[in-house]
Chains A and B, each alone.
Chain A
């Protein structure tokens, strides 16, 4: 089965990103394909590399990057939602005249079309939010 995953909330504030991660990991371990994980609304905040969570708790951002590295996952942060919330990669920094970038490894910023495409191409789209 091919899954598309939508994450609507940021790290730590809600359980959405955690549940999405556990679901995605379980799906991959069962041999399913995950077409894309699309981060929308505050979910884009899962894509900043600047978090420093307490050492004795899970590192949500790194966990996504590591899962992406292991399974070649496509982690996409919505550009419009990212612009509102300040998640920036090199292209966006140049385009918007920002003096810094903060995108985490293995995440990429792209348009809402990527979510629609995930809905079309996946067998199941699963939404995690609040």
Chain B
């Protein structure tokens, strides 16, 4: 793997953010998204994968009024403005949960186990939350 350079001559690494938790039951989904947004300024090659309950983070129709928590699902739609466009969901996790791409709040690439395993292996840095 060769090191890419940013326009200013800095290193560009392939950053992978692994999301495996449901939203609202814990803060991991929200705070990991905050890392992605702040991290966008560093112009790295960012991918986000949603595995296990992480696929629930992307579910449409989240209405958090009655639990009095901030609904942060719209933020996933803002990711492309930050040049974070490589979003992947694990097919097996979606199938197990009865979710299809139509249920999701943003377009993602749905990957098979083998495709996802290959994608993860190609990264330089893996962040888990």
Instruction: Give A contacts to B, CB under 8 Å.
Output: 6, 8, 40-41, 80-81, 111-113, 115-117, 119-120, 125, 127, 129
Contacts and interface: CB of A to CB of B under 8 A. Distances in A.
A120 B11 contact: yes
Contacts of B11: 120
A125 B27 contact: no
12 contacts: A41-B27, A112-B39, A113-B38, A113-B41, A116-B42, A117-B42, A119-B44, A120-B10, A120-B11, A120-B13, A120-B125, A125-B126
Nearest to B10: A120
A113 B126 CA distance: 16
Chain B interface: which size bin?
A: 10 to 19
A84 to B, nearest CB: 8
B118 interface: no
Given A41-B28, A112-B39, A119 B125 contact: yes
Given A8-B129, A112-B38, A119-B125, A40 B44 contact: no
B15 interface: yes
Given A117-B42, A119-B13, A120-B13, A112 B128 contact: no
Interface of B: 10-11, 13, 15, 27-28, 31, 34-35, 38-39, 41-42, 44, 125-129
A119 B127 contact: yes
Contacts of B127: 6, 115, 119, 125, 127
B33 to A, nearest CB: 11
Contacts of B38: 111-113, 116
Contacts of A8: 28, 129
